[in-house]
Structure 1
């Protein structure tokens, strides 16, 4: 029985050799069999098949049934893949946590910790990365929101809220990007955090723990933002970041940004 190249590559990614892959695929087609039967089905040499079967058993791909002769029964693919998927996920999570510690400790040591990023995807990915590292506070000013970004932002901020992180959002109700209206308020209004909606200019600001920040902007065509021109500055100059955070605090406390502000007026004002 033949399978696609993608399936073969998937099995190889789980650590199977060529012979092991051929043997496991063949065993799925006969479910259970003796070494001779499996050798014939897989076209793996009889002299190699026992070692291959023992190796597959050790890796959790089949079971050995005692008797004369020995028989070998395949473990269903969904069980095999689920177990390996969980193992891979755990390894990736541990590796990510370990490398993040190294990464986060090293960034402040860079002589000039300022980077320029271009394009919506890179900017949004960096934004979510910064939010994921928050330990005490996250401040967001969302005058510039790309399509799909509010949903990603909401999902990531839910995680910070569960950690008890001080989270505040000051954002425009909608944002027009490339002629598409991004429904920011509609997506974020139910988020259980301090959120104020106001016609913020076309600029994005994210401040983490008063230690790291991202500020993004782009060219405009009338009242719509041109996403392909988007650029952002990401830095960890703590003195500068703390200054910007102070300005954010000042703006946040101003009366016309109060949470009692009439959202309909806000939307009308934004569309003027």
Structure 2
């Protein structure tokens, strides 16, 4: 992947450095080592600012100072800088989430019973699907036309629940999807009704134990958006509507 300097500076800023700190750190790697004048000539950081910026970078553990006349600066290696920033990120992450954990309140039953959630991005929908599938105790119905929507984690979770005695139906008009589960004991694979026209925007559907549901669609740009609900009246009613046709398969991609 090729990025330009402005993108690198933006990335460093997201890691906690200021714009000037990012520019001085990059400039010193370009120079190998240098004085404040050298750095100012290499970047647009004013020479008068280089001293305080270099001091801040030294405190962060990202450069070393040679007490010469004039003072020279040398950046730590890229590997050492990565480790330093990684450790700092982990410390800040731990500090932030420890606080959130100390003040969080668990949602009450009344607040969760009617919740309908929207999830965007393929990775988050994959994770939510795995979470719902792993909670199945009696039945799983999983449908998709897209093999890419059956990640390794989803496939493994479905197979694990089937091995635990959960009834599993996998529905797809796509051979590659059905083939993933064709020979797995406890899993039934089937086609949706032929009368149903193909829908290029259908994503996936997950039904768990008649009380949890996830439905997704594929947007025009190829991204995926899903709604899901668990233990709610919405999920109960929608699952009943899906099953109100000739059979459950008529509701799947």
The range that moved more, 90-99 or 32-41, is: 90-99
Say whether residues 1:175 and 2:172 are aligned partners: yes
Say whether residues 1:235 and 2:230 are aligned partners: yes
Alignment of 1:1-272 (within 5 A): 3-67=4-68, 69-81=70-82, 83-85=84-86, 88=89, 105-106=106-107, 108-110=109-111, 112-115=113-116, 125-126=124-125, 128-129=127-128, 131-132=130-131, 137=136, 140-151=140-151, 153-154=153-154, 157=157, 168=166, 170-172=168-170, 175-176=172-173, 181=174, 183-188=176-181, 195-199=186-190, 204-207=205-208, 213-214=212-213, 216=215, 234-237=229-232
RMSD, aligned CA: 5.0
Answer yes or no: is the 8 Å Cα contact 1:142–1:169 preserved in 2: no
The range that moved more, 17-26 or 33-42, is: 33-42
- Secondary structure in 2 aligned to 1:20? helix
Answer yes or no: is the 8 Å Cα contact 2:9–2:22 preserved in 1: yes
Task: Name the count of aligned residue pairs.
Answer: 215
Distance 1:124 1:45 in 2: 43
Q: TM-score, normalized by length of structure 2?
A: 0.58
Gaps of 5+ in 1: 219-226, 245-272
Gaps of 5+ in 2: 194-203, 240-253
Answer yes or no: is the 8 Å Cα contact 2:58–2:64 preserved in 1: yes
Q: TM-score, normalized by length of structure 1?
A: 0.55
Answer yes or no: is the 8 Å Cα contact 1:62–1:72 preserved in 2: yes
The range that moved more, 90-99 or 50-59, is: 90-99
- Secondary structure in 2 aligned to 1:171? strand
Q: CA deviation at 1:65?
A: 3.7
